[in-house]
Amino acid sequence: MRVTDGPDFGANSLLNLPAVKNMSVLTVERHPWQGSNQHGLPYPSYFHPSTWQEMVAWQNRVRGMDRPHLFSFIGGPRKGLEKVAVRDEFIRQCGESTRCMLLKCGSGAGKCHEPSEVLKVMSESQFCLQAPGDSFTRRSTFDSVLAGCIPVFSSPHTAYTQYKWFLPGDVSTYSVYIDEKSDASKRIEEELLKFPNEKVTAMREMLIELIPSLTYAHPNATNLGFGDAVDVALASLAKHIQKIYDK
């Protein structure tokens, strides 16, 4: 999230220039309150297909995966950031549950930096907890979609206010929202067990249908046969600009 005060991580000053505020900015994280000219793009994940056949094969693989874990969390604790205190709660609840797979991350090399390990945990889970990190958004959201693992959000700014060009308006069709300040956030396992199998299957199928439009195709790919994230972004941007001219 870009702010006008605080540390500058490289793009803050640029995005706040008056001239840039008159541009349409495509970014992996838009400012939820001051980013009216900013449009969120998916984080790149690990899958970059070259053909439609590769995409269909991946979707079928995700559809047929065995998922022995009710939920999982991949991440580590953060210090000094009040908004990510929910991470400690996620780690605690996941660690205490026999139905949760916890992949705890720390400094240095580890399984959290291995794509195969990350996708293995997610592909074996029904739900994936998505706590904000250093900012509201996280790439793990798109890793979970790629793995067919239903994302569980604790803030609307992790996805709902970010990626409106890419995600369905009815967020309940593909995700679960548990407000971090609600009583439900203290009993995540209990809340997730309330979802019947039919609903879980339908939500996962929605995720599988979303994979092509949230994926970045291989740069050498031609005649893909589907619109990837770049195609969706350019088409949506064109519509956005046309609406401005039509006013």
> How many Å apart are CA 219 and CA 86, to the nearest integer?
37
Query: pTM of the predicted model, to two decimals?
Result: 0.90
pLDDT at 1 over 50: no
Read off the pLDDT of each residue in 135-141 and give the average, rounded to a whole number.
89
> How many Å apart are CA 78 and CA 169, to the nearest integer?
31
Domain extents in the chain: 1-40, 52-214
> How many Å apart are CA 124 and CA 62, to the nearest integer?
10
**In terms of C-beta density within 10 A (0-12 exposed, 13-18 middle, 19 or more buried), how is residue 136 classed?**
buried
Q: What is the per-residue pLDDT across 7-24, written as a single tens digit (0 to 9) for each?
A: 544 456 777 788 888 888
Per-residue pLDDT band for 200 (boundaries 50, 70, 90) equals: very high
> How many Å apart are CA 221 and CA 47, to the nearest integer?
13
Average pLDDT over the chain reads 89
Question: pLDDT at position 48, please?
Answer: 95
Question: pLDDT at position 2, please?
Answer: 46
Question: pLDDT at position 76, please?
Answer: 82
Q: Give bridge partners of residue 69 from the DSSP assignment.
A: 125
Q: What is the per-residue pLDDT across 26-47, written as a single tens digit (0 to 9) for each?
A: 999 888 888 788 999 999 999 9
> How many Å apart are CA 166 and CA 237, to the nearest integer?
12
Fold held by 52-214: Rossmann fold (3.40.50)
